Structures are given as structure tokens and as C-alpha cells.
Amino acid sequence: MTAVATLKTWTGAALAAPVVWLASIVNVPLKWWQRATGTGGMAAFFLAPNMAIFGIFVLVPLVINFFYSATSGTAYFLQDRTYVGLEQYQRLLDCGNYLDTATCREDLFWKAVHNTGLFVLVQVALLTVVSMITALILNREIVGRSFWRAVFFFPVLLSPVVTGLIWRWILQRQGLLNLIVHDLGGDPYNWLTDRFWAFTAAVSVSVWAHMGFYTLILLAGLQAIPRDLYEAAEMDGTKPARGFWRITLPLLMPNLLVVIVLALIRAVQIFDEVYVLTGGGPGTSTLYLTQYIYEIGFASLLRNPGLASAASILMGLVLVVLTLLQLQVGRRGERKGARE
């Protein structure tokens, strides 16, 4: 054995010594536990820390939230609140015509529901198309491909608050965009006080901030498509557009479905960047469900924690449906993969 090898062995042994010592101590109760509960008990033992964290930070708050939604009052301690059963849900769902928010008792809740629905439709469609186009371009042999991948992924790394602030500074009355418009001889415009432009900004900024992540998923799918399929199609004289519809899209469908479902869930939860960008305005035209819950639960001087809890549970139900859809899509993909 050479001197270097001996040194490596000694170093390894020295570094491992504390771990071995710790393992020997842990070994005693673990052996006892295994004898007492079998291998199933060992699985439970190793899962316990995760389950404890999940329980404390997800399950317990969820259960408490259910209790809050069945109470009224301004106090935050459950024991100081009055039990009202389903009253908060009735109040939220009390509506003459669900399509006309003015007829609803909690018109701001329904305004937020309508806004969120429209946002989800437009944002998810746009996000999917833009991510797809970007992935297709980045999958080609273009100059500086790695650089461009990093460029498109970079906004994903930004904090949503930073994203919101950057775009607010660009779009506000005295912002960068109006400076450019002014320099080009145009009249500056109040983009964030116009309902159409505020909505457009909310959607666009959200697409800009998240498309990098979805592009990456689609890119991984594109790279998994065998090149020989395209080569065979090319030899048969297939045009590129037909190749996209007949080869790329069908084979990319599992990834595309995952992208759509993930984007749907994220879009329903939209809050931070839009809250910073528009504050929910102009009026309530970019007030989305999460902001409504936040405002009514914590921020507004008219705060009502019970109503906020009930609204969050209704929103949670929508998210459960979307998550089940995602699981279904994932399983179908797995089954298809297994068959192939």
C-alpha cells in the first residue's frame, strides 16, 4: 500500500469514527424497536420525522382552519369565537346570480372568483403556448443554447416580490415604459389604472416569471423523443409542421398535461407578484382569490377570520380537484410508459 493510500484510509477512518460511534448508540434502541414492531415499524420510524413536520405545519392548521370557518367574531383564539356552523359558507354562497357579482352578499369574494377564473384561462393557455414555443426553439441547435436556457430560466429564481416590484417600476405612471413612450414622442399612459392593461400586465408578468420552469419540463420531454423518428419522417418527405403535429405533440402529451395541470394549480393560487404589481386594482379588477382571503383574514380593517377560513376551504376544494387531476394524469403517463 502506498503512503497516499494509507493516508486516505486513515483519513476516511477518522472521519467515519464519529458516525460509527453515533450509529452504535442509535443501534441499541433501533434493534429493540425492530424486534418489537417488525420491518413495518422501521418504516414508520423513518417516516415519523417527515410525518411530524407534515402534521404540525399542514394537517393541524388544516383542521384548525375548518374550525375557524365554523365560527364568527374578530378574536383569533378559537375559545373566544362563537360557533355558527355553516353560516360563513352560506354568506359566501349567498348570491342572486353568480354571474352578476353585484347581486352577491360577498360581492368581493365572487369578484375574486370571476377574476381568478379569467386569469387561469388566459394565463395557463398563454403560459403553455409560450413555454412550448420556447422549448421548441431551445431544443434546436442554436448558437449559445445553454446561455438562452439560463436566460429563460432566470426569472424563476427571482422572488415574486422582486418580480412584482421590477415590473411595477417599469409600468407605473412615471416608470420606464412611459419614459420610452415619451422619448418616442408618445403620450405617457397610466397602464396600471386601466383595467385591460392591468390584467394584461398581471398575466404577462406571471407568464414571464414562471415560463422558465415549464419550458424546462417540456424541453426534457422533447429531448426524450428519439431522433430517428424525425429522420424517418424527413426521408418520407414529411414537412416540419406535420412532423410537429404527428410526432412531437403526441409524444410530448404526457409532459404537456403535467405542465397544464401544474400551471392550473399555480394560477389558482396566484398572489404575490400580482399583489405587489397592481395591489388588486384598478378597483378590484386584479383582485384574486388568495388576495381576497389575505385581505379579509389579516389586512383589512374589516377583517373577518371566519369568512377568510371558509373562503380558503372552498378554494382548497378546487385545488384538491386539480391535484386529483394531476395524479390521474401522472398515473396514466406511468401506465402508458409501462405498456411501451
Partner 1 sequence: MKKTRTLLAALSVSLLASTSAFAGDVRIMWYSDGVEGDVIQDLLNRFMKDNPDIHVTLDNVAYKVIQEQLPIQLEAGQGPDIARVTNIKELAQHWLDLRPLVADPKYWDDNFGDTLDWMRPDGSKAITGFMTQLTLTGGFANKTLFEQAGVALPGDKATWDDWVNAAAEVAKSQQLPAAFAIDRSGHRISGANVSYGANYIGPDGKPAKVDDGTKAFVGKLVDWTAKGLMLKDTWVSAAGSTYRAAADDFINAQIPFYYSGSWQVANLSTKIGDSFDWVATGSPCGTAGCSGVKGGAALVAIKYTKNPKDVAKVMDYLAREDIVKEFSERTLFLPAHKGVITKGGLKWGSADKNVGPALDKFVKAAGETLPAADALPPWKWANAYFAALVTRVSQVMAGELTLDEAWGKIDQDIADKVAEAK
Interacting residues with partner 1 (CB under 8 A): 72-77, 82, 102, 105, 107-108, 111, 172-174, 190, 192-193, 195, 198, 278-287, 291, 295, 298-304, 306
If the CB atoms of residues 85 and 250 are measured against partner 1, the closer one turns out to be 85
If the CB atoms of residues 256 and 307 are measured against partner 1, the closer one turns out to be 307
| Residue 323 CB-density burial (10 A; 0-12 exposed, 13-18 middle, 19+ buried) | middle
If the CB atoms of residues 37 and 82 are measured against partner 1, the closer one turns out to be 82
Q: Which of 265, 273, 264, 150 is nearest to 216 (CA)?
A: 150
Please tell me the total number of residues recorded for the chain in this structure: 340
The minimum distance between CB 100 and partner 1, in angstroms, equals 12
The minimum distance between CB 190 and partner 1, in angstroms, equals 6
Q: Cell numbers at residue 170, please?
A: 417599469
Q: Chain-centre distance of CA 206, in angstroms?
A: 11
* Other residues' Cβ atoms within 10 Å of the Cβ of residue 336: 11
The minimum distance between CB 257 and partner 1, in angstroms, equals 34
If the CB atoms of residues 232 and 299 are measured against partner 1, the closer one turns out to be 299
Helix axes 107-138, 145-157, angle to 10 degrees: 160
Residue 95 CA to residue 72 CA, distance in Å, equals: 20
If the CB atoms of residues 9 and 74 are measured against partner 1, the closer one turns out to be 74
Residue 318 CA to residue 296 CA, distance in Å, equals: 19
The minimum distance between CB 75 and partner 1, in angstroms, equals 6
The minimum distance between CB 122 and partner 1, in angstroms, equals 19
Residue 179 CA to residue 174 CA, distance in Å, equals: 7
